[in-house]
Structure 1
């Protein structure tokens, strides 16, 4: 089991640091016969510095799928720079990947001890140490780490869901229900676009279903949630794209185009009164993403048509016109 990082709701500019990625300072990529096909992680040309050994550890994990070898590389990095928390963090992840959770806990603890918040390793170290404690059957210690992450409140549903599971395992039904309810509310907000379009992911719908199942098992009667705002947003994005495709064949005054306009007018009106309201720019991002996705399929369709027809063929001209309409739609919804 490879430990990954908890989802973050922080700004993208901070995400690299929070996820604990190291800067892989390498000179060149060296061929390796035992590297997995398509791996993009570079192998350091030399092994002289702590960063070189960190880079080698990443290469061994990502390309050679050898976490035990990565442990040795990260250990070399620690010996070269014992006061840096980064190699401890990566070695902890490698230990966890090979099932040595006691060693992983020790390294995550060292990261937390050393880290002052400057480089963003503490938060994922608390999260991953909680997961290691879970594997060791030490639920109360996992809860203590999650308490550090959640504090008085958190916008991360996974933290509440995880802590709810730990409370459930300890038989603390009341605390488990409270955390599951908090997680349910946040997952619903994610799907309604309250935290931006990036969290309107089908995976969060699956997590919402899991939370609701846990509440049901604990005797909490939950009705099927109505993700009204999210459904309106998704409908707007779909119909905007369909309208753009039709405009490649019809003028805006055509009844077909006006039918789409009427649907969109109704949906935007519903959105204005929907609760909760989505984060600013969510509908524009969803429209642009849907348009880009459709453009990819049109590119594939155009390539197939070119095998049979010349670029001036009406079928290809229609595809080009549809792409132009989608490009216009994207520009209009640029945030």
Structure 2
């Protein structure tokens, strides 16, 4: 998680509660980061305006010091709001001023309104800041608070705390956390929590967690066939079948080959544990089809530079795209 000079001074009247908009000077596009996606605030007249300007300075101008100053102005406007403290803490962390970051994250935690949902993020980020400061026991305490707050188990939190327990020499607690993390990560990559966690990051975390357990003398059993691998193979095979339907009729041996494969895969899926919702399968198939359609679109554009739309290769792509669209429709809820 990300720890998430140009200085604006408010007139004294504004600090006393009067609403006097400050017009923001235009900034040349040449000064903006190429990946800037944020609009410039037109005026600075409220806490939200200053927050927006602070994010613009940090993300688009890459001026974190200016962002800290602007978030400070938002705090002066409303010292009781938790959001300005949270964003200033992230900016301090980006500057590697972890002491200041800890102080602001602590403000968010003390306020603990729950209205903006920033408390959990503040605990997580404060734990990271404590780690940077070498205060690992305090970092463990923050993670323990997070894990015990009934939001549901989170593998990242267990892995982080396990690493810290390992660093401070508490082997048994580290093993216990790594074991919980391993179970959760296997569920992530198996699609138990839908497709949101089925990405390479969690597979890499799972592999690393198992290595940590093995290095501590814990026997780790790795399943030969997982639900996640079956799901991914089903999605790939469904897409390949659709592409071949552009060339062959359904009764063709080529299509029957894919049908046999899919029948076997779906039978395997029915017997694996843990079971996943049908929506997971449908989402993976649709996502794979969309991804293939994107590559076909690129290929078609390249061919159009050489041939007319009636060229056999382009016509084949058009038929394949139609088959993929049909596959997506069949997998809608």
TM-score w.r.t. the length of structure 2 is 0.90
Do 1:86 and 1:121's aligned partners in 2 also have CA atoms closer than 8 Å?
A: yes
Shift of 1:175: 0.6
Does structure 1 residue 171 correspond to structure 2 residue 163?
no
**Alpha-carbon distance between aligned partners in 1 of 2:24 and 2:308, rounded to the nearest angstrom:** 46
Query: What SS does the aligned partner of 2:268 have?
Result: helix
Do 2:38 and 2:56's aligned partners in 1 also have CA atoms closer than 8 Å?
A: yes
Match of 2:11 in 1: none
Shift of 1:222: 1.9
Do 1:30 and 1:42's aligned partners in 2 also have CA atoms closer than 8 Å?
A: no
**Alpha-carbon distance between aligned partners in 2 of 1:28 and 1:271, rounded to the nearest angstrom:** 60
Q: Between Structure 1 and Structure 2, how many residues are aligned?
A: 314
Query: What SS does the aligned partner of 1:194 have?
Result: coil
Match of 2:54 in 1: 57
Do 2:178 and 2:213's aligned partners in 1 also have CA atoms closer than 8 Å?
A: yes
Q: 1:122 aligns with which of 102, 119, 122?
A: 119
Q: 1:35 aligns with which of 32, 55, 65?
A: 32
**Alpha-carbon distance between aligned partners in 2 of 1:179 and 1:170, rounded to the nearest angstrom:** 14
Does structure 1 residue 98 correspond to structure 2 residue 63?
no
Query: What SS does the aligned partner of 1:82 have?
Result: coil
TM-score w.r.t. the length of structure 1 is 0.90
Q: 1:158 aligns with which of 151, 156, 166?
A: 156
Greater displacement, 229-238 / 64-73: 64-73
**Alpha-carbon distance between aligned partners in 2 of 1:242 and 1:30, rounded to the nearest angstrom:** 50
Do 1:28 and 1:42's aligned partners in 2 also have CA atoms closer than 8 Å?
A: no
The structure with the larger Rg is: 2
Matches within 5 A, 1:314-329: 314-329=312-327
Match of 1:3 in 2: 3
Match of 1:109 in 2: 106
Ranges in structure 2 where 5+ consecutive residues have no aligned partner: 5-22
Shift of 1:116: 2.0
**Alpha-carbon distance between aligned partners in 2 of 1:244 and 1:75, rounded to the nearest angstrom:** 57
Does structure 1 residue 223 correspond to structure 2 residue 221?
yes
Do 2:285 and 2:328's aligned partners in 1 also have CA atoms closer than 8 Å?
A: yes
When residues 28 and 195 of structure 1 are mapped into structure 2, their CA distance, relative to the original with a 3 A threshold, is farther
Larger RCO: 1 or 2 (CA < 8 Å, sep 6+): 1
**Alpha-carbon distance between aligned partners in 1 of 2:35 and 2:198, rounded to the nearest angstrom:** 29
Matches within 5 A, 1:259-274: 259-274=257-272
Shift of 1:155: 2.3
Match of 2:76 in 1: 79
Query: What SS does the aligned partner of 1:281 have?
Result: helix
Do 2:185 and 2:206's aligned partners in 1 also have CA atoms closer than 8 Å?
A: yes
CA RMSD, 1 decimal = 1.9
Do 1:2 and 1:94's aligned partners in 2 also have CA atoms closer than 8 Å?
A: no
Do 2:88 and 2:104's aligned partners in 1 also have CA atoms closer than 8 Å?
A: yes
**Alpha-carbon distance between aligned partners in 1 of 2:2 and 2:63, rounded to the nearest angstrom:** 11
Query: What SS does the aligned partner of 1:183 have?
Result: helix
Ranges in structure 1 where 5+ consecutive residues have no aligned partner: 5-25
**Alpha-carbon distance between aligned partners in 1 of 2:39 and 2:25, rounded to the nearest angstrom:** 7
